[in-house]
Amino acid sequence: MDIDPETAKALCFPKPAYRVVEFERRWLCHDVPHEGVTRSERITDLYVTGSGLRLREARPLSGGPAQLRLSRKGDVDARTRLVTSIYLPEEEFAVLAASLPGVRLRKVRHRLQSPTGVVLSVDQFQDELYGLIMVEAEFSTAALMAGFAMPDFAFREVTDDPRYSGGHLVRHGLPKEP
């Protein structure tokens, strides 16, 4: 999908070479379908105060090197966003993690095998958000996203509800349902 250049510019993503278009949908779940999990990682996100920046530490539960990055997202709409990231070595990540102000969100992410090629990740939130389980699906195109059915282990789509975005959850807690 091509993003309108004026929309991208307004979101401060003027150069296509430095941005990725992300198509995503999210659903609430009662549990993790453990039989389909291919890998799991512990994620700590620092949402930097006063900005759209997120510092992410993703450490595989099975061991191995962490993926450390500083990202910025700009929402085109509830299902489409522009993203840019800088991957960091441990030393530089530690400097930013110790000095940037913000709020932290912790979760365990389980990647699921998917015969359709769609990336499915189930997040089990920790700390104040304990008990929240959400699956997100990432797509390579808007057409794939539109035609994707809700996973059978999910019970409600929350893609269009901004209260279920990471930044909103970490700042305001679990949404109050009517």
Retrieve residue 72's tokens: 């910025």
Residue 123 sits in a domain whose CATH number is: 2.40.320.10
Q: Do the domain assignments include residue 124?
A: yes
- For residue 104, give the amino acid letter: R
The pLDDT of residue 173 is 94
Please tell me the distance from the alpha carbon of residue 141 to that of residue 164, in angstroms, as a whole number: 22
Q: Residue 165: helix, strand or coil by DSSP?
A: coil
Q: Do the domain assignments include residue 27?
A: yes
Q: Do the domain assignments include residue 114?
A: yes
The answer to pTM > 0.95 is no
Please tell me the distance from the alpha carbon of residue 48 to that of residue 35, in angstroms, as a whole number: 35
Considering its fold, how many domains does the chain have in total?
1
pLDDT in tens, the chain (178 residues): 578 888 877 877 777 777 899 999 999 999 999 999 999 999 999 999 999 999 999 999 999 999 999 999 988 888 989 999 999 999 999 999 999 999 999 999 999 977 677 889 999 999 999 999 999 999 988 898 998 999 999 999 999 999 999 999 999 999 987 6
Q: Residue 166: helix, strand or coil by DSSP?
A: helix
The pLDDT of residue 10 is 81
Q: Do the domain assignments include residue 121?
A: yes
Do residues 155 and 27 touch, judged by C-beta distance below 8 A?
A: yes
Q: Do the domain assignments include residue 79?
A: yes
Distances (CA, A) of 152 to 97, 104, 131, 142: 38, 30, 19, 21
Q: Do the domain assignments include residue 5?
A: no
Q: Do the domain assignments include residue 3?
A: no
Q: Do the domain assignments include residue 148?
A: yes
Structural domain span for residue 101: 19-172
